Amino acid sequence: MGESAVVLWVHGGGWYLRESTDVSLFETLGMRVVHARYRLSGEATWPAQLDDLRAEARAVRLPGSPFFVAGVSAGAHLALHVGLRGVDCPGDVDAVLAFEPPVDPLAPDWPRARAEGNPWHRLLGHVPAPGDAATLDCTVTAHVGTGTPVLLMHGMNDAAVPPTQTLGLAAALLAARHPVHVTVTDGAHGDLDLGRPDVGAFVRRFLATQTAAVIPDVDGMLQR
């Protein structure tokens, strides 16, 4: 198969905790998974987290090998930033996989994102606000247009991060001509277990479309 694809996995936890997720699905597909570490919001405010992840990506990318960035919840938000903005330049990440991502703290249907003490407040060091440069910079939809393929998945019963966050981003990505695979399925926040048959199948289909051009035996890989 040549060099194995690398997946940089970004953990969730509201940017202030380190939560673990079983990501062995990627390993069963013959990929090498690297668990990223980044400064939490109690250690540094935005954009320190993005700076840390770009440094991690530079350290683990293999020349000539597919490179994916993936994450869940707050980690999905960060994975999207790395994927859409690039490690060293836009387009140097092959694809992003984002599960239940918070995307836009100013969304009208998510007033809780602008409450004192909310995770966004901790991330920025202040409450998100219109016209604020840091708020704009950490909003994912401000960085579409690089063409990076994106997988988006959200639970329809997510009370922590509204599924409209994913749907709004999907619309923005499609308008900017990104290849997008998106689904909203059953489950609350944290229920998108990669071991779930429907979740695993969706991920496999997406990866098949992304790896076929660079991994010759992709069909055999996906049937393992």
On the question of a cis peptide bond just before residue 101, with omega within 30 degrees of 0, the verdict is no
Q: How far apart are CA 189 and CA 81, in angstroms?
A: 21
How high is the mean pLDDT in each 10-residue block of the chain (224 residues)? Answer: 81 97 95 97 98 97 93 98 96 96 98 97 98 98 97 98 98 98 97 95 94 51 48
Q: What's the confidence (pLDDT) of residue 218? A: 46
Distance CA 139, CA 19 (A): 22
Which residues lie closer than 8 Å to 224 by C-beta, 6 or more apart?
Answer: 28, 29, 30
CATH (one of 3.40.50.1360, 3.40.50.1820, 3.40.47.10, 2.60.40.10) for 6-222: 3.40.50.1820
Do residues 77 and 141 touch, judged by C-beta distance below 8 A?
no
